[in-house]
Each structure stands twice: as C-alpha cells, then as structure tokens.
C-alpha cells in the first residue's frame, strides 16, 4: 500500500522504469531484428519521457537538454540508421538464439533478482526520489548484456549494446539525477561514433564472410 | 479398566498391540490366503478405524504421557499423546482402514512371501508407525523407527525372487539406515549435555544456535531421506513400485508422513524456537523436490513409478510449507505460520487419502491385467467401472481441482505465500513469493500428470487384446477404494471443520491457531481481516445445480436421442488402438521443455528399418551425478580396507590384542 | 431481504453472461472478418450454430464411456459457475464468498481436465493428441493466470476478485507498474487459453496444428453445442477477468438498478473494444507452430513472475 504515499509523478516514473524493463525482456525474447530496433526506439522514447519528467520535477535545466539529446539520438537517428543498415544488408531475422527463449527469459528473471539485491545498498545511499529504480537500471544493463550474449547476428548485438547504454543512462538518472552535461555529451558522441564504426564493420564482415553471423569470426583465431 | 477407557493414550497402546497380535495370528496358518484375507486383514481394518476414532477424540483431550518400564532395565519406554501425535495417528488409522479393507481382497496365492508372514509384516509395519508417533524418548523412537524401516523392507521385497526387487529393497534399506543414523545424531545433539534422551529433556535443553542448527540439519537429512526429499529421493521410485500395492499405499500415504511428523516434532517442539533461515533451506529443497518429482512423474511409463514420483512432488509441497512456517515463526509472524502449518497438515492428510487411493487403484488394475506398463493398458473404464470412477476421484483430487480436497490445502498454502512479502527481512521478502510461482507450476503439472495417468490407463481403446478379459475389483477392494474416495470428498467439502480441528493440532507446536470466523459452518474464513473465504459445499452445489438444470433444459427443449457409431477416422478406415497417443508421447512436451532435468538416452529407428524400434530411457541426473560416484568411492574405500582381512586367526587375534592395549593405554 | 435481492441479481447476472457470451464471440469473428477484408458473418451466427446443433441427433462413438457424455455438462457447468465469480457488472456478488480467484483458476483447470479426459476417451489419434496439447498449454497457462492474480492480490491483500476490482477501481491516480507486466502476460494467456491465434486457429480444422477442434472432434449435436457454448463463455469470462484486473472502472458497487444499468453500458463498451482488440491481434500475428506454444506460454508465465518481482521490488 506504500504506493499511495508516492506523488503521482513518481508513480509515473516508476511505471516508466518498469516499462523499460518490460521492453528489455521483450527484446530478449524477440528474434526479428526489425522489431528489435523498433523496441529499442520505444525504449529510447520512454527514456526521453522519463528524463523530461524528472527535469520537470527537479527543475534541473540540463536534464531538458539530455532529454532532447535522447530524442534526437536514440529515438530518431540511431533507429533510422539501423533500419537503413538492415535494408542494405538484408538481415531481417536472427537465427535461433544460442539458448532457447524460455531459458534466456529464466536467466533474465534471475538477473532481475540479482540486480535488485545488488542495488539495495546503493539505493539506501542515494538520496534521490527515484532510488527505487536503480535496481531496474542495473537489470536493464545486465539483460541487454544477456541479449548480446545469446545472439549470433552482429546486428542484434549492436541493438543490445544500445539498450545497455539506455540502462546506464537511466541508472545515472535515478541515482544522481543525471550525469554532468559534459559526460553526457561525451557518452552520446561515443555511442554515435561506435555506431558508425560498427556500421562500417558490418559491411566489412559481410564482405569477408558473406554473412553477418558472428560465428564466422571464430575462424579468425590462430590455429593451435 | 475404566481408567484405560478414559485414557486415549492407553487405548491407542492397546490398539497398536492389537495390530501386533493380529499380525502374529497370521503365523497360525501362514499359507492360508483365506484366513489372512477374510479374518485378519478385516480385523486390522477394524483396529485402524478404532485408532482413527480414538485419535480424533483425543484431539480434545489434554496431552498425556506414561512411562512403561518394559525393555532394558533403566531404559523405560516413554510415551506421549498430544494433539500433534493424534493428528498423525488419525491419518494412520483412517488410511490404514481403507488400505486394510482393500488388502483383505487383494492378496492372492503366489510366489514370494507366504500370506501369513506378510500379514505379520504388514501389521508390524502399522503398529511401528503408531509407536513412532507416540514415542517420547529417543530410544523408543529409534526402536519404532527401525522396526518400521525393517518391516517395510520385508514388505517391499515380498517378490524377493526378482533381482530388481531385491536391489530396490537394498537401496531402500541403505538410505533408510543412513537417514536413521542422522536422526540418531540429531537426538544426540539435542540432549544438550544432559545425557537424558527423553523428549522432555530435549525440550528443556538450551542449545546454543550453532548446535541447534546442526541438530536441525541432521534431522532434515534423516527425515528428508525417509520422506524422499530430493536429492535423497532415489529409493522412492524403486521401492514403491516393487512393493505390493497396499504396501505402496501405506508407504506413500502414511510412512512418508511419519518423516514429516518427525520434522515438525524436532523443529517446532524439541528445538523450541526455530531460526528463520532454516526455513529457506527447507523451502528451497521442498520446491525443488516438488518440481523435480512432478516433471519426472510426467515422463514415467510405469504407473506405480509415476505415482512414486508424484509422492516426491507432494512431499516437496509439504516440506516447502514447513519451510514457510519456519520463516514466519522465526520472524514472529504467528498467524501466517499457523496458516502455513495448517496447510501442511491438511495436505498431509489429503495426500494420505489421495495417494493411497491411487496406489490401490493401480493395485486393482495390476491384478486385473497383470500390467504395470502404461503402454499396455487402456480402456479399462469399460471393464472396471468401479475402480475407474473411484480412482478418478483420487486423480482429480491430487490434481488440485475444486471442490475436492487437494484444492483446499493448495489454496491454504497459496494464501500463506501471500503473507511472504510481509516478512521483515529485506530482499528475502521479495524472493519468497517467487516460491508461489514454483508451487503453482508444480500444481498445474500435477494436473497434467493425472490426466496422463487416468487417461492412459482407463480411457481410450485397450492397447492389448488381453485387456478385454479384465475384471472389476472384488467387493472388499471396492469398499477399500470407496472408503478413501469418500475421505477425499469429505475433506474437500468440509474444510472449515477440518481446519478448526487442525487449529488444535498446532497448539503443542506453540501456535494458537487461526482467528477462524465461526459464523457459518459451510463457509471457511481462515483470516477474517483478509476478506477471503471458500465454501466448497456451495461451490459444488452450484455446479451440480447448473449441470442438472442444463440436462433438464436440454431434455425439455430438445431431445435426448443418441446414436452410436464408429469414431471418426478421417476416411482412413483402419484406425486401431496403436494409433492412440502413448504414455511416452503424452510426456513428450514435458521432456522437451525440461530437457536439462533428464538424462535421456534415445534410440530412433531409421526410415528404412523393416522392424522399427523406438526406445527412450529416462535416467535421473542425480542418480548418475551423485549416487554412482558415491557408490564407487565407498567401494574403493572398502577395497582399501579389505587388506585387513588376511584369513589367519592369529592376525585377527593380533587386531583384538592391539585394540585392547590401545584402549587400556588411553583409559589409564 | 437485501440478501435475497443480491442472490437474485447474481443469478440474473449469470444468465446475462451465459446468454451474451456467444454474442461477444460473434462480435470478435465479425471484427476479424472485417479486418481481413472478408464479408463478415452475422453477429448472431454463434447462436444459430448452437441452435442448429441442439436440434440434431447426437452421434457418439461406440466405445465412448459415460465420462464422455458427462464432460460437456461438466465443462458448461464449470464455465457458468466461473461466470458467477467474476465481477463483470457488479462487485456485490454473494457467490464470490464461496469461491475466490484461486478457485476460479481451479474451475478453469477442472474444465480443462474434463475436456482432455473426454478427448482421450474414444481413443483416436486426434483426440489424444488434442488432449496432450491442451494439457501442455494448460500447465503453463494456469500458473501464469494464477501469478497474474497473485500480483493483484498482493496489491489488494485479498484473493477475492470483487474486492480486488473495487480496490483497484477506487484508488484514484495510482499506477501499478507491475500490472503492466501482468497485462502483457494476461493477454498472452487469454489468447492461448481460448484457442486463438497465435496458439490455435478457431477457424480451421487443420489436423496437424489444431488443439481446440481436435478435442471436440468426436462430439456432435447437443454435446458439441454445449462445448461450443462453454468455449464462448470461457472467452467471455477471460475478457471479464481482464476487465476486473486491469480496467475495473465503471463496475457497480451497489445493486441499485441505475448503477447496474450504467455499469452494463460500461461493460458493453469495454467488450466492444476488447473484441476489436482480440480480432486485431489475431489478424496481425501469425500462428505459431505447436512446438513454439510452450515457449510462448512460458514467456507469459515469466512475464507474470516478473510482474510479481516488480511489485515486490519496487514496492509498487
């Protein structure tokens, strides 16, 4: 019943946090790359809304800026870039994940439990009103990691990587009301550059192996 | 004499002795099936009913104890009857009544142990279980416990000419004894330096937490081995199918509950206040056992093995309930703990009825067909309507369907899981409710297992031609089955009454019971402040009324014409019984979904094989991963010790001499 | 006197649910046809089908047992009783004292077990296959549903369905993130349990993939009519459970005729939307292979468990 004690905007924030987690799980169980990218865009949009809400609540001006940054980068530009990449590369489906969906989801549930255990001491230290969602942020990061681990196609791994960045961003926001602007810009730039580099990489990988299946990279290791 | 009649404890003692005498009487004419069947087993059933009656009345009496100076000098036998013992005695008596009635018609002439001897073992088994429940000191408890193990061992190996049965019996005996050692050690810890092995001394002893924990863990190991908690469960699916069906029913329905009794007695009574995190161990083991048992049950093709695995599941549910109660009790949530304990006791009672009923049902099928393999059964509802319909009651009950009894206890347990989020320990209170997820998964799987069990045996077309000659069970067998089925129904329909009684049972464990709302007799309101209630009678009545009204309406507005015809065959025209789904097939989704649980070896035929053969062997990973290495280790140690055996008298004398000298040197 | 009135209102409510259920099914079918650019059957088509079946002579397999003939009544009875537990119009339901949400799940399980046993009774390949598949779906859908209810119960500290709805409806401006997870899980369970795409296609008799139709293959005439009616009622019940848990607004908390009328209107509006929603999901998704069904349902179950976790971890 402690829910009723919270003001409405915080409830909304918590709900957004839960939806972020929900989307992470949706990404974990999704095998169509197109849908995966759409989910990523939705996740970015939620993140944007959450940032705006927090900005409005705390009155911190720099949060408006980072909300705008999120919108531009994670909701519009990167998904567009990825969609374009897909069209060019012609990968629409990931192959069977390394672990079946049920198993992956089960591990995901365990990860949620683990991250909340992990986040408990941090939450206790944090003074922000959003400290409850730190656990969710950690979970989003780890689940994105899991998404990357269980996929074969480079494309889905990039999506996982971006989702991980979302989680980190959200975590920073819940723990300290966002990172200093300079750091945030730096991270955004990093992501952008990473995306571009990876985009170039994809073409190189495909040229080399005629496929984006990362299993082929195994053949690059030196033979004993 | 009048004093005897007023003392439930003495009455119980008398009745248990009567069981012993009935058993001994079997030796008068050891080879006569008729004497044992028509006279002794019915007498045993009467004793059972009497035990149940006395136990039920003694629920209202205060606890009483006596000291009998029999046996070794200075080691008198302490006996005590409190409401916890009464509850389990009631379970024993009520289940034994039905099983004995069934057994009166069950045993036939055949190879194996002669009926008279079997009668002795059977009744000794019953009496020893009774004494386990009455014992009030470690010596008599262990004596009764070991008698129980031994008599059931002999019963398991009734068909001792079959090597598999001998090895099943050996495994059972081995694990039973390892467990017994752990229990003995646990008692040794619990006496707490007083060297008094009465339970009263143990209650009074003040143990420091480390010792209390070790006593608890030893008891958990010992009683867990007896109960068949994973990973000590391996004997159960071997021994239960090997035993004759009434014995399987007793072992599964009653004997496993004595282990539960021991666990409750040690944790809540002898050790006093349990530590909350003990409960987590029990909860984890219990939930794992529940899931493990039911998953394996779904994959079985032998009907008795299937039931044995289902017993592991139910034991898991029981122990997880105990674990939950410990967590609640250890954190001061008395009401929630009471609810969980009542759920456990209720489920124990339910399981005694349901599982006995099902085992007896398989016994009747086994007699009628000579088959235990699900792949050779089918369609028996036409040939054995009595057995089929009565077994259906048990199957629906164990699947946890309302308004039968299995549902009530699962309902209670789920309600107590709802309290778990209020446990004060941070993080733990978040994880505990997840246990409910596993519990409901196991319960739903139980439904799957029971549809498979009932459907493959009784429904469909007979898979073998010989099944057409199957005969329904005799009068005595039907009566035994009916007794248990009625028990299932009553326990399901009158939960408010049963819970009012069980509220008394948990008093010796230090709980005051539930704040029951006694407003109306047909309505169960376990926790008035939660606004939850359950009224199976109304529930059942509504379903019945709807069914009757529907039938009447259909008849009134339309017609009741029926035409019989061949089943629809898609124009194929050559449907036969081999085209039905098999037991293996029915288990396939479970095998597929829970592959990591199984150690599977499959033999698939090629498409061009003229005599195709499909074989799948489902092994237990725990058996291969834990027991076989352990067995090899023991063998290696035994080989290493074997060089001591030289075969020369003088060497052995030397051993004795060295031992003697060493001891003397140490003593002086 | 009020008690009598309560019971009367309850019985009327049940009758209304029983009679309206095929209408809802008709609506879903109609929407589906529209969305798929087909000309839609009349919304009354399910009634016509049921009526036609009742008039026919029942043909029963020669080796069918009594269980086979009992099952349709049992299933129908279970579904009608379930309708009595679910607060679809009013929350003052005297019968819900007798059975709470857990009993409701038990009731669905009972119906499922009887359908499956009846399907196994004749002993044809399809019947047993259908029974196996039905139980396969059931053993995951049932715990998922129970977990969904469990989350709502943790929020409201009771398992009585009307109390849950009342509490959720009256708490102004309270958001429950956990319910987002359970709503996803519930939608998945609803589709699977009612033999809709992506688990089963109610419109075909494609032998290799069918579940619901395989179970009913041996039934004809009045038995089939009851089974079909029970299936329609089951869909109706599930949708109403969804309303009770996730959109409980508009339920009448008293038995005043005006309140009941208003709440019926609300229910009608919700049903229209929900029917269209189901039709939309069925149209845009492809049917899964049967082997994928457990994965789908395990996902639903895990989503429900996640809802539980979020509820406990966020304290919301």
**Chain segment B40-67, per-residue pLDDT in tens:** 888 999 999 999 999 988 888 888 888 8
- Asked if B431 and A120 come within 8 Å (Cβ–Cβ), the reply is no
Task: Tell me which of B291, B295, B430, B597 to substitute to probe the interface with A (most A C-beta atoms closer than 10 Å).
Answer: B430
Pairing of strands B562-565, C58-61: parallel
- Which residues in B lie closer than 8 A to residue A113 (C-beta atoms)? 430-431, 434
The predicted model gives C124-140 an average pLDDT of: 87
Do B456 and B374 contact (CB within 8 A), yes or no? yes
The predicted model gives A108-112 an average pLDDT of: 87
What pLDDT sits at residue A1?
37
Joined together, the tokens standing for residue B51 give 């035990």
Distance CA A125, CA A136 (A): 16
Q: What is the mean pLDDT of chain C?
A: 86
Distance CA B305, CA C91 (A): 47
Domain ranges of chain B: 600-667
Pairing of strands B615-620, C58-61: unpaired
Least CA distance to A119: which residue of chain B? B427
Residue B645: is its pLDDT beyond 80?
A: no
Residue C298 is nearest to which of A1, A102, A135, comparing CB atoms? A102
Cα-based angle C184, C190, C194 (whole degrees, multiple of 5): 160
Distance CA B610, CA B247 (A): 44
The predicted model gives B199-225 an average pLDDT of: 89
In B32-133 the beta strands, taken as DSSP E runs, fall at: 64-68, 77-81
A and B: number of Cβ contacts within 8 A? 9
Higher pLDDT, A179 or A40: A40
Which residue do the tokens 């071997």 mark? B238
Beta bridge partners of B371: none
Which of A4-18, B17-31, B69-83, B302-316 shows the highest mean pLDDT?
B302-316
Higher pLDDT, C238 or A209: C238
The predicted model gives B202-222 an average pLDDT of: 89
Q: Give CA separation, A128 vs B194, B286, B426, B518, in Å.
A: 57, 40, 20, 49
pLDDT band (50, 70, 90) for residue B354: very high
What pLDDT sits at residue B359?
93
- Asked if A116 and C309 come within 8 Å (Cβ–Cβ), the reply is yes
What pLDDT sits at residue A214?
65
Q: What is the mean pLDDT of chain B?
A: 87
What pLDDT sits at residue B61?
82
**ipTM beyond cut 0.90:** yes
Residue B142: is its pLDDT beyond 70?
A: yes
Pairing of strands B77-81, B64-68: antiparallel
What pLDDT sits at residue B667?
79
Kindly report, residue by residue over B574-592, the tens digit of the pLDDT. 777 778 888 888 888 888 8
Please count the other Cβ atoms lying within 10 Å of the Cβ belonging to residue B608. Answer: 6
Distance CA C310, CA C180 (A): 10
What pLDDT sits at residue A211?
67
The predicted model gives C69-77 an average pLDDT of: 92
Residue B222: is its pLDDT beyond 90?
A: yes
Closest of C186, C104, C105 to residue C139, by C-alpha: C105
The predicted model gives C179-201 an average pLDDT of: 88
Please count the other Cβ atoms lying within 10 Å of the Cβ belonging to residue B163. Answer: 8
Phi, psi for C304 (deg, rounded to 5): -65, -40
Residue A120 is nearest to which of B426, B431, B593, comparing CB atoms? B426
Do C175 and A15 contact (CB within 8 A), yes or no? yes
Chain A residues 108-127 with a CB less than 8 Å from chain B: 113, 116-117, 120
Distance CA A158, CA B668 (A): 79
Residue C120 is nearest to which of B444, B455, B550, comparing CB atoms? B455
Joined together, the tokens standing for residue C101 give 């949400």
Closest of C1, C5, C4 to residue C255, by C-alpha: C5
Cα-based angle C297, C298, C304 (whole degrees, multiple of 5): 90
Closest of C107, C189, C184, C129 to residue B536, by C-alpha: C107
pLDDT band (50, 70, 90) for residue C260: confident
Residue B4: is its pLDDT beyond 60?
A: no
Q: Give CA separation, B6 vs B86, B135, B442, in Å.
A: 15, 20, 45
Distance from CA of A167 to the nearest CA of B (A): 22
Q: Does A112 reach chain C within 8 Å, measured CB to CB? A: yes
Least CA distance to C72: which residue of chain B? B547
Joined together, the tokens standing for residue C216 give 């009913």
What pLDDT sits at residue A2?
43
The predicted model gives A15-33 an average pLDDT of: 85
Q: Is the dihedral of CA B274, B277, B280, B282 positive or negative?
A: negative
Task: Tell me which of B398, B427, B447 to substitute to probe the interface with C (most C C-beta atoms closer than 10 Å).
Answer: B447
Kindly report, residue by residue over B104-115, the tens digit of the pLDDT. 888 776 667 788
Distance from CA of A166 to the nearest CA of B (A): 26
What pLDDT sits at residue B353?
93
What pLDDT sits at residue C174?
66
- Asked if B554 and C222 come within 8 Å (Cβ–Cβ), the reply is yes
- Dihedral of the CA atoms B170, B176, B180, B181 (nearest 10)? 50
What pLDDT sits at residue A215?
66
Residue B236: is its pLDDT beyond 50?
A: yes
Distance CA B331, CA B514 (A): 17
Q: Give CA separation, C66 vs B272, B286, B358, B377, B382, in Å.
A: 54, 39, 21, 19, 9
pLDDT band (50, 70, 90) for residue A69: confident
Domain ranges of chain A: 9-215
Of all residues in chain C, the percent with pLDDT exceeding 70 is: 96
pLDDT band (50, 70, 90) for residue B445: very high
Residue A223: is its pLDDT beyond 60?
A: no
DSSP structure class, residue A178? S
Do C164 and C137 contact (CB within 8 A), yes or no? no
Distance CA B302, CA B310 (A): 12
Task: Tell me which of A113, A118, A124 to substitute to probe the interface with B (most B C-beta atoms closer than 10 Å).
Answer: A113
Phi, psi for B150 (deg, rounded to 5): -70, -45
Residue B517: is its pLDDT beyond 70?
A: no
What pLDDT sits at residue C206?
67
What pLDDT sits at residue B518?
64
Please count the other Cβ atoms lying within 10 Å of the Cβ belonging to residue B422. Answer: 14
Kindly report, residue by residue over B181-209, the tens digit of the pLDDT. 999 999 988 887 778 888 888 888 888 88
Which residue do the tokens 């039920």 mark? B56
Reported as type and span, the H/E element at residue B601 is strand B598-603
- Asked if B431 and A113 come within 8 Å (Cβ–Cβ), the reply is yes
Kindly report, residue by residue over A133-167, the tens digit of the pLDDT. 788 888 888 898 888 888 777 777 788 888 888 88
DSSP-based three-state secondary structure for C59: strand
Residue A85: is its pLDDT beyond 70?
A: yes
Residue A4: is its pLDDT beyond 50?
A: no
Distance of CA B67 to the CA centre of its chain: 30
Q: Write down the pTM of the prediction.
A: 0.90
Residue A6: is its pLDDT beyond 70?
A: no
């Amino acid at each position: 019943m402690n829910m009723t004690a919270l003001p409405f905007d915080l409830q909304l924030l918590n709900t957004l946090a839960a939806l972020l987690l929900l989307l992470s799980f949706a990404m974990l169980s999704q095998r169509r790359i197109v849908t995966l990218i759409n989910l990523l865009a939705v996740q970015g949009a939620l993140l944007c809304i959450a940032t705006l809400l927090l900005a409005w609540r705390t009155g911190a001006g720099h949060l408006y800026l980072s909300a705008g940054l999120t919108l531009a980068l994670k909701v519009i530009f990167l998904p567009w870039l990825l969609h374009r990449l897909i069209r060019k590369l012609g990968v629409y489906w990931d192959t069977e994940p390394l672990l079946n969906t049920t198993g992956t989801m089960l591990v995901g549930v365990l990860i949620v439990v683990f991250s909340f255990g992990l986040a408990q001491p941090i939450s206790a230290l944090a003074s922000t009103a959003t400290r409850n969602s730190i656990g969710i942020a950690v979970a989003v990061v780890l689940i994105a990691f899991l998404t990357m681990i269980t996929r074969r196609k480079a494309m889905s791994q990039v999506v996982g990587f971006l989702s991980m960045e979302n989680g980190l961003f959200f975590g920073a926001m819940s723990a300290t009301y966002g990172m200093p602007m300079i750091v945030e810009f730096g991270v955004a730039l990093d992501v952008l550059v990473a995306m571009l580099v990876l985009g170039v990489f994809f073409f190189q990988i495909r040229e080399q192996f005629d496929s984006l299946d990362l299993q082929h990279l195994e053949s690059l290791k030196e033979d004993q | 004499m009048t004093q005897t009649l007023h003392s439930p404890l003495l009455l119980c003692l008398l009745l248990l002795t009567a069981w012993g005498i009935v058993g001994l009487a079997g030796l008068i004419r050891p080879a006569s099936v008729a004497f044992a069947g028509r006279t002794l087993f019915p007498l045993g059933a009467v004793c059972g009913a009497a035990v149940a009656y006395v136990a039920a009345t003694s629920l209202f009496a205060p606890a009483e104890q006596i000291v009998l100076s029999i046996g070794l000098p200075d080691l008198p036998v302490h006996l005590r009857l409190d409401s916890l013992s009464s509850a389990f005695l009631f379970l024993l008596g009520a289940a034994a009544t039905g099983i004995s009635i069934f057994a009166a018609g069950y045993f036939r002439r055949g190879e194996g142990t002669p009926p008279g001897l079997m009668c002795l073992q059977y009744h000794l088994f019953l009496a020893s279980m009774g004494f386990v429940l009455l014992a009030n000191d470690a010596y008599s408890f262990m004596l009764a416990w070991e008698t129980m193990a031994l008599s059931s061992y002999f019963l398991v190996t009734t068909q001792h000419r079959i090597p598999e049965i001998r090895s099943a019996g050996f495994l059972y005996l081995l694990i039973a004894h390892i467990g017994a050692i752990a229990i003995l050690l646990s008692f040794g810890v619990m006496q707490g330096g007083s060297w008094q092995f009465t339970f009263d001394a143990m209650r009074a002893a003040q143990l420091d937490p480390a010792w209390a924990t070790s006593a608890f863990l030893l008891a958990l190991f010992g009683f867990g081995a007896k109960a068949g908690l994973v990973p000590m469960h391996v004997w159960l699916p071997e021994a239960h199918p090997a035993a004759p069906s009434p014995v399987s029913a007793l072992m599964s329905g009653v004997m496993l509950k004595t282990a539960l009794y021991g666990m409750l007695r040690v944790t809540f009574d002898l050790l006093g206040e349990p530590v909350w995190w003990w409960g987590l161990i029990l909860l984890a083991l219990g939930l794992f056992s529940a899931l493990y048992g039911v998953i394996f049950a779904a994959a079985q093709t032998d009907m008795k093995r299937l039931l044995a695995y289902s017993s592991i599941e139910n034991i898991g549910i029981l122990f997880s309930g105990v674990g939950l109660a410990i967590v609640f009790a250890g954190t001061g949530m008395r009401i929630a703990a009471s609810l969980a304990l009542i759920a456990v006791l209720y489920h124990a009672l339910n399981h005694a009825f349901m599982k006995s009923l099902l085992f007896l049902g398989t016994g009747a099928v086994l007699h009628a067909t000579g088959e235990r393999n699900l792949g050779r059964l089918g369609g028996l509802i036409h040939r054995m309507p009595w057995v089929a319909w009565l077994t259906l009651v048990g199957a629906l009950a164990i699947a946890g369907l309302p308004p039968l009894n299995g549902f009530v206890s699962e309902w209670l347990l789920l309600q107590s899981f709802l309290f778990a989020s209020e446990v004060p320990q941070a993080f733990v209170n978040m994880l505990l409710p997840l246990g409910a997820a596993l519990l409901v998964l196991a319960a739903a799987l139980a439904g799957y297992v029971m549809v498979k069990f009932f459907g493959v045996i009784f429904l469909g077309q007979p898979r073998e031609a010989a099944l057409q000659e199957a005969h329904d069970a005799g009068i005595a067998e039907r009566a035994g089955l009916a007794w248990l089925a009625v028990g299932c129904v009553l326990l399901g329909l009158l939960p408010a009454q049963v819970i009012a009684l069980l509220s008394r049972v948990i008093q010796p464990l230090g709980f005051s019971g539930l704040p029951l709302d006694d407003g109306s007799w047909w309505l169960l309101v376990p926790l008035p402040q939660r606004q939850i209630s359950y009224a199976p009678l109304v529930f059942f009545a509504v379903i019945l009324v709807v069914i009757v009204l529907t039938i009447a309406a259909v008849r009134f507005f339309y017609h009741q014409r029926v035409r019989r015809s061949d089943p629809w065959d898609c124009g194929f025209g050559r449907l036969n019984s081999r085209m039905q789904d098999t037991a293996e097939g029915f288990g396939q989704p479970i095998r597929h979904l829970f592959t990591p649980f199984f150690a599977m070896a499959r033999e698939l035929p090629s498409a061009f094989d003229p005599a195709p053969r499909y074989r799948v062997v489902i092994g237990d990973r725990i058996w291969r991963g834990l027991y076989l290495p352990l067995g090899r280790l023991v063998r290696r140690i035994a080989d290493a010790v074997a060089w001591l055996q030289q075969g020369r008298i003088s060497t052995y004398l030397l051993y004795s001499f060295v031992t003697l000298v060493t001891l003397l040197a140490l003593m002086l | 006197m009020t008690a009598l009135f309560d019971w009367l209102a309850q019985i009327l409510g049940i009758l209304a649910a029983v009679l309206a259920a095929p209408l809802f099914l008709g609506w879903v079918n109609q929407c589906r046809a529209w969305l798929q650019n087909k000309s839609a059957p009349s919304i009354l088509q399910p009634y016509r089908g049921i009526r036609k079946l009742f008039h026919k002579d029942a043909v029963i397999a020669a080796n069918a047992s009594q269980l086979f003939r009992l099952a349709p009544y049992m299933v129908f009875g279970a579904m009608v009783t379930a309708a009595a537990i679910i607060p679809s119009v009013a929350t003052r339901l005297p019968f819900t004292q007798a059975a709470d949400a857990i009993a409701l799940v038990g009731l669905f399980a009972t119906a499922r077990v009887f359908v499956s046993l009846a399907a196994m009774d004749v002993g044809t390949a399809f019947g047993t296959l259908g029974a196996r598949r039905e139980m396969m779906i059931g053993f995951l859908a049932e715990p998922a549903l129970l977990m969904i209810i469990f989350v709502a119960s943790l929020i409201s500290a009771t398992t009585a369905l009307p109390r849950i709805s009342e509490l959720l409806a009256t708490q102004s401006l309270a958001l429950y993130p956990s319910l987002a997870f359970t709503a996803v899980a519930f939608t998945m369970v609803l589709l699977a349990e009612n033999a809709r795409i992506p688990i089963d296609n109610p419109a075909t008799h494609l032998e290799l993939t069918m579940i619901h139709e395989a179970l009913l293959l041996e039934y004809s005439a009045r038995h089939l009519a009851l089974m079909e009616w029970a299936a329609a009622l089951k869909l109706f019940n599930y949708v109403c459970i969804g309303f009770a848990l996730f959109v409980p607004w508009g339920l009448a908390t008293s038995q005043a005729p005006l309140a009941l009328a208003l709440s019926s209107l609300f229910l009608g509006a919700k049903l229209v939307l929900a029917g269209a929603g189901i039709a939309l999901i069925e149209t845009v998704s492809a049917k899964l292979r049967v082997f994928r069904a457990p994965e789908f349902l395990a996902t639903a179950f895990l989503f429900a468990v996640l809802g539980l976790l979020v509820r406990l971890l966020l304290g919301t």
